[in-house]
Every structure is written in structure tokens, then in C-alpha cells.
Amino acid sequence: MITVTTSPATAPARRDAEATKAAILRAARHLLARHAHADITLKAVADRAGVSPPLILKYFGNKDTLFSQVMSFEADAAALLDAPLENLGRHMVRHVLLSQTRHGADPLLRIVFAPLHGEQGDILRANFRAQVGDRLAARLSGPDAGLRAELAVSALLGLGVMFGIARGTHLRAADLDDIADRWAPAVQAQLTP
Amino acid sequence: MITVTTSPATAPARRDAEATKAAILRAARHLLARHAHADITLKAVADRAGVSPPLILKYFGNKDTLFSQVMSFEADAAALLDAPLENLGRHMVRHVLLSQTRHGADPLLRIVFAPLHGEQGDILRANFRAQVGDRLAARLSGPDAGLRAELAVSALLGLGVMFGIARGTHLRAADLDDIADRWAPAVQAQLTP
């Protein structure tokens, strides 16, 4: 049973706010992939998102909090790691493949576009290691949990690069569960060896 | 026994020629990572490499043959795949890690920087699939060789991204043979299941 908890008047407004926030984050992400953090003005983000600068301030407070959301992997990691440990390898492989087929990208792949030099790349890398690698490692038992977590994440990163960037024809033609059957064991072997 | 086949006068000349060719390829690669193929002039490559445009023509013939070398994975794949099949997984993992530790990059990782749109990215992707994926698949027996080859390459791509771009601290601190012990089985399982 679906319970309607919002009035007809507030539901579209809330949906509009979410869509506007998403457009602002997309615009900031687009500009960050092309310019140094310090060179990007709120006005440039606003222009690209088709909103006014004060609206960005209303939703995100200031430029720093906006960019901290753009450079965070927190929400992505929560979805990626949302499964019991004994089934986590398969869940993560499916999550990457579903994200690729539905959205043409996957949440981990953003690290690939991190600039190799400069502060912005360093922040992205530090966030990625803490919010994805360390968070996974904290769930693992036994020795070398940090290294095993990084290898498990490597398997997911490689799958995303081969699917979304190299566009491997066999991978893109294969059934999602067939790929998971073949690839999840490599991930799971690092989680529960 | 080493047989000296060049005169003292020609050996340095040959070495200079190789260094100059390498500088030209580096310059072309740098510009290709930042501009569309059609917008890059021979003069821009020459300026960046510190040579004259006619010297580029002398070494590479024309702009198209120069860029076809920049966008090729042939030489990289030859070194990557240079081992017997029963030991290839370990050889490839070690090759990626040695390239990363010695040169700060590995040969497969170039595909990660392929532009997602436009002709140049399409050429890089097609080369990568043919020169790395298909070439590996041709050596595999049994069903689904193409898919298995792409998964094996995924494991190597992910390792390179985690080491060279995300800069995983545990991976970078680990012993190369320890990593190979842990990761080669995931690759080899795709090659000889």
C-alpha cells in the first residue's frame, strides 16, 4: 500500500527543489572537470545550471560546501556497500554494472577523472580512500584488511573503466548476472578469503 | 659477448634520434590529451618538443602517421602479453606494477584518458579493444574468450587506476610480489579457468 504523505501542492515543489539541486551539482562537477577549483565562480555554476547565484547559496550555503558535496563519495559508498559481507562482492559488481547500464557511468569512476596534479585532485583522492577504501576495510576481518579492500575496489574500478570508457564489446553484450557470476568471486576472495 | 656494430660516431647520433622521436611522441600525446586531433598543428607539436616541423616529417612522414603511433597500444601489448599462457596472469600484474613504480604510469592506463566523445577517443578505444583485448582473446581456449579477456584486462586496468590515480596507500606500500600473489589468481582464472 502506498501512503501519500505530501499534499498535491508540496510534492511538485519538493521534486523541483531536488531537480534544481541536482542541476547545480552537475554544473559544478562539469566545471570542476575542466577548471581549477579557485577559478570557478558561483556565477559560472549558476549560469551553467540555469539558476541564480542566490539560489545556490540558499541550497548549499556557500561555494565550499557546494564543492565538498561534489567531491564526496559518501552517498555513493553507502549504496555500493549496502549488503551483508558474505554477499558484498556480488552486490558491488551488480551495483557498478547497473549504474553503468542505467546512467552511463558509475559512482567510483569519478576518481578516474581526478586531476593528477593540484589541490582538487588531492581532495578527491583523499575522499575516495577514506570514504570508499577505508570504509570497506573497516568491515573486513583478518590481516591486511586495507590492502584487501583496495584490491576489491580495484576490481570494481577496472570493470567500470572497461565497460564505460574502453567500452568492451563483449562485456557490454553480456548478461549482467553472467558477468557477476564470473567477476564477483575475484572481489569476494579479497573480502572473505 | 657483446658485438659492437656501430662506430663511435654513429652511436650517439642514433641515441639522439631516439630521444628526439620520444620527445615528439610525448609532445603529441600531451597535446592530444588537451585538444581535438583536428586542432593540433605540426608546428604546435614541434614547438612543444623543441624541434622543427620538418624534423617531425623526417621521422614520422606526416601528421596522421605520427598520431597513429601516439594512439597505438601495439608496442605496449607486446610487452604486456610476453609470457606463456599458464603464467600470463602473474606476468601482466607484475608488468603493470613495475611500469607504475618505474615510470609513474602503466601502458594500459592511457585508455582512461581517452575523451568520451569525438573521433580521437573512438580511435583510441578501437585500438585498445583490437590491440589488447582481441589479441589476448586470440590466445585463450574455451568458450567466451572475448569476455574472459576483457575481464582479465579489467583487473589490470583497476590495479593501475588504484595505484596510479587513486594512489591507494596500502597498495603503494605493499611488496610487488605480495600484490602479485594476491591479484594474479583473479586474472589467471579468466585466462585458464
Q: Rounded to 5 degrees, what angle do the CA atoms B97, A190, B94 make?
A: 15
Nearest CA in chain A to B193: A182
Query: Has residue B126 got a pLDDT over 50?
Result: yes
Nearest CA in chain B to A108: B166
Task: Please indicate whether the domains covering A17-70 and A74-191 agree at the CATH topology level.
Answer: no
C-alpha cell at B35: 585538444
Query: Has residue B69 got a pLDDT over 90?
Result: no
Does the beta-carbon distance from B161 to A111 stay under 8 Å? yes
Name the pTM for this structure. 0.82
Nearest to B129 among A148, A168, A182 (CB): A168
Nearest to A150 among B144, B168, B186 (CB): B168
pLDDT confidence band for B3 (50 / 70 / 90): very low
Question: Chains A, B: CB contacts under 8 A, how many?
Answer: 132
pLDDT per residue as tens digits for the range B20-51: 998 999 899 888 767 777 788 999 999 999 99
Nearest to A168 among B116, B133, B182 (CB): B133
Tell me the C-alpha to C-alpha distance, in Å, between residue A6 and each of A3, A10, A22, A166, B28. Answer: 9, 6, 21, 44, 58
pLDDT attached to residue B10: 52
How far off is chain B from A162, nearest CA to CA, in Å? 6
pLDDT confidence band for B52 (50 / 70 / 90): very high
Torsion sign (Cα): B144, B147, B150, B152: negative
C-beta of residue A35 within 8 angstroms of C-beta of residue A79: no
- Per-residue pLDDT of chain A (193 residues), as tens digits, is 444 444 444 556 777 888 899 899 989 988 876 777 778 899 999 999 999 999 999 999 988 889 888 888 998 899 999 999 999 999 999 999 999 999 887 878 888 877 777 777 888 899 999 999 999 999 999 999 999 999 999 999 999 999 999 999 999 999 999 999 999 999 999 999 9
pLDDT confidence band for B1 (50 / 70 / 90): very low
Of the listed ranges A78-92, B72-86, B115-129, B137-151, the least confidently predicted one is B115-129
Q: Encode B20-82 in three state secondary structure.
A: HHHHHHHHHHHHHCCCCHHHCCHHHHHHHHCCCHHHHHHHHCCHHHHHHHHCCCHHHHHHHCC
Nearest to A162 among B114, B116, B154 (CB): B154
pLDDT per residue as tens digits for the range B4-28: 344 444 556 777 888 899 899 989 9
Q: Looking at beta carbons, which residues of chain A come within 8 Å of B129?
A: 166-169
Mean pLDDT of all residues in B122-130: 92
pLDDT confidence band for B117 (50 / 70 / 90): confident
Between CA A166 and CA B160 the distance in angstroms is 14
C-beta of residue A50 within 8 angstroms of C-beta of residue A89: no
Q: Encode chain A in three state secondary structure.
A: CCCCCCCCCHHHHHHHHHHHHHHHHHHHHHHHCCCCHHHCCHHHHHHHHCCCHHHHHHHHCCHHHHHHHHCCCHHHHHHHCCCCHHHHHHHHHHHHHHHHHHHCCCHHHHHHHCCCCCHHHHHHHHHHHHHHHHHHHCCCCCCCHHHHHHHHHHHHHHHHHHHHHCCCHHHHHCCHHHHHHHHHHHHHHHHCC
Does the beta-carbon distance from A150 to B157 stay under 8 Å? no
Query: Has residue B114 got a pLDDT over 50?
Result: yes
pLDDT attached to residue B22: 87
Q: Looking at beta carbons, which residues of chain B come within 8 Å of A155?
A: 154-155, 158, 186
Q: Average pLDDT of chain B?
A: 89
Between CA A142 and CA B94 the distance in angstroms is 25
C-alpha cell at A68: 565538498
Chain centre distance of CA B117: 21
Does the beta-carbon distance from B144 to A183 stay under 8 Å? no
pLDDT attached to residue A11: 58
Q: Looking at beta carbons, which residues of chain B come within 8 Å of A146?
A: 169-170
How far off is chain A from B87, nearest CA to CA, in Å? 18
Does the beta-carbon distance from B157 to A155 stay under 8 Å? no
How far off is chain A from B39, nearest CA to CA, in Å? 18
Q: What CATH number labels B74-191?
A: 1.10.357.10
* Type of residue found at A125: R
C-alpha cell at B186: 583473479
The CATH homologous superfamily for domain B17-70 is: Homeodomain-like (1.10.10.60)
Does the beta-carbon distance from B125 to A166 stay under 8 Å? yes
Q: DSSP class of residue B108?
A: G
What residue spans define the domains of chain A?
17-70, 74-191
Chain A residues within 8 Å of chain B (Cβ atoms):
111-112, 114, 116, 125, 128-129, 133, 144, 146-151, 153-159, 161-162, 165-171, 174, 179, 182-183, 185-186, 189-190
Between CA B46 and CA B41 the distance in angstroms is 9
Mean pLDDT of all residues in B138-158: 98
The answer to whether ipTM exceeds 0.85 is no
B122 vs B136, higher pLDDT: B136
Nearest CA in chain B to A104: B116
Mean pLDDT of all residues in B170-188: 98
